Amino acid sequence: MKKLVFTLGLCLVTAVSFGQKKAVTDALRLAKDSKQPNFSEARAKIKAALQHDETKNDAKTWYTAGQIENLQFDKESTKIILGQQPNETVMYEALFNIYPFFEKTYQMDMLPDAKGNVKPKFSKDMRSILKANLPHYINGGIHHFDNDSQKAYEFFNQYITISDWALLKEGETATSAVDSNYIFANFYAALAAISLDHETAVYALKRTSKIDYRLEDVFKYLAQTYYNADDTENFEKALVDGLAASPKNEYFLINLVNIYLESDRNDKALENTLTAISIDPNNYQLYNVAGFIYEKSLKQFDKAEEYFKKAIELDDTVSDTYVNLGRIFFNQGVVQLELANEIADVKKYNEERDKAKDLFRKSLPYFEKGFQLDPNPSMDIKITLRSIYYNLDMGDKLEEMTKIIGDE
């Protein structure tokens, strides 16, 4: 009796196993039906087989699951060729689902048999399918880019993952050239990732920074990502890398200079600016930055004057440059006037006050030019001009500027 029960049990297990293997075949048949494919039922059958002990470790089961998704994708994408409107949601979802199934298939397909031999059955077909579909992953990323950054990132990222997969590289000759689609996918994966979590954004941006494509933008986004996370150390590093990739970029230079100045690395700030000037000697803004460092941090007013004047030579239409130059003399005049006010002796007081007036006179034409060029001059410029007019006893001008300030 026990033997009979054992035999019946054995038959039952065999029957169930055969049933699950048949379910795999049936699932593919349902998806392949040329008249009316039933993808819902096909997925239901293959899902059961993927979970069953007798078929879940069979490469064919996983390969069939990928085939079903590919057949669904082909059905919708063929409509485009025929001039029909595909269901893009269904089409791209099916496309996205192919790779995970094929990845699992490949793992099983590369396992050695009982004799230790590796005889893959499905790798060639999977490689063919994925290569044919590869450009569509970029289309999927573009499709989602404006409305779903997460999905867009996943599609671009899957393109990269598949492109880098050992299965697709089998038999290919190594080359140093980078495919333009690969470059595109990396860059736009990074753009999509900026809207996601910090770790994903950093990962994607650092990955694409290894490709020589729009590095100026890549390092700018990477620097901003670190800045937003208050990661000052990596913010600075990204700026340094960005400036190396794009020596003329003012975003990297100005932010680096600010970091150096805030941390009292004045020589470093000046070094970077002078290097940038040597690379881009006709950029007036670089001379403005150098002048600012000489003036504010190093207190070398003659050098500051020299660089501000050079900036004006390169572009005489910028209000800020004139104001910068005028500020050198005005601030020295204020200091000189304060010294004069501390002197009790009238004669000496007048001598020192006249020195202050000379400095105010030197500053006046630059502030007036800056005021004239600026369509919306700041209150600081107006107040400074009023102060100069007052100290130079320019009554009419003083009254005029006082009225301008009062009317605002």
Read out DSSP for 47-110? Answer: HHHHHSTTTTT-HHHHHHHHHHHHHHHHHHHHHHHTT----HHHHHHHHHHHHHHHHHHHHHHT
The predicted structure's pLDDT at residue 16: 45
Q: In whole angstroms, give the CA distance from residue 386 to residue 260.
A: 34
Residue 331 is encoded by which pair of tokens? 């601030």
> pLDDT tens-digit profile of 95-137?
999 999 999 999 999 999 888 999 999 999 999 999 999 999 9
% of the chain surpassing 70 pLDDT: 93
Report residue 228's pLDDT band, with 50, 70 and 90 as the boundaries: very high
Q: In whole angstroms, give the CA distance from residue 395 to residue 132.
A: 82
The alpha-helical segments, DSSP class H, found in 110-148 are 123-145
Cβ-Cβ contacts under 8 Å for 26 (sequence gap 6 or more):
45
The residue behind tokens 């290569």 is 131
Residue 345 is encoded by which pair of tokens? 């002796």
Q: pLDDT at residue 175 above 70?
A: no
- Please, are residues 327 and 370 in contact by the beta-carbon 8 Å criterion? no
The predicted structure's pLDDT at residue 1: 40
> pLDDT tens-digit profile of 388-397?
999 999 999 9
> pLDDT tens-digit profile of 271-283?
999 998 998 899 9
Q: pLDDT at residue 9 above 50?
A: no
Q: pLDDT at residue 14 above 50?
A: no
Using CB atoms within 10 Å of the CB of residue 156, give its burial: 0 to 12 exposed, 13 to 18 middle, 19+ buried: buried
Half-sphere CA count of 209, side-chain side, radius 13 A:
21
The predicted structure's pLDDT at residue 19: 66
**Among 18, 177, 151, 12, CA closest to 93:** 151
Region 289-318 average pLDDT: 95
DSSP state of 196: S
CA-only gyration radius of the chain, Å: 36
Q: pLDDT at residue 348 above 80?
A: yes
- Mean pLDDT, the chain, rounded, equals 92
- What is the phi/psi pair of residue 41, to 5°? -70, -35
> pLDDT tens-digit profile of 19-39?
678 889 999 999 998 889 999
Q: In whole angstroms, give the CA distance from residue 406 to residue 398.
A: 12
Report residue 173's pLDDT band, with 50, 70 and 90 as the boundaries: low
Residue 44 is encoded by which pair of tokens? 């239901």
% of the chain surpassing 90 pLDDT: 85
The H or E element that residue 172 is part of is none
Report residue 407's pLDDT band, with 50, 70 and 90 as the boundaries: confident
- Please, are residues 349 and 340 in contact by the beta-carbon 8 Å criterion? yes
The predicted structure's pLDDT at residue 4: 41
DSSP state of 357: H
Residue 100 is encoded by which pair of tokens? 């995970």
Q: pLDDT at residue 66 above 90?
A: yes
CA-based torsion, 79, 80, 86, 90: positive or negative: positive
Region 285-302 average pLDDT: 93
Q: pLDDT at residue 176 above 60?
A: no
The predicted structure's pLDDT at residue 199: 97
Region 199-220 average pLDDT: 97
Q: pLDDT at residue 3 above 60?
A: no
Residue 28 is encoded by which pair of tokens? 């593919």
- Please, are residues 28 and 64 in contact by the beta-carbon 8 Å criterion? yes
CA terminus-to-terminus distance, the chain: 107
Q: Coil, helix or strand for 194?
A: coil
Q: pLDDT at residue 288 above 80?
A: yes
Q: In whole angstroms, give the CA distance from residue 287 to residue 305.
A: 10
Q: In whole angstroms, give the CA distance from residue 240 to residue 244.
A: 6
> pLDDT tens-digit profile of 40-52?
999 999 999 999 9
pTM: 0.79
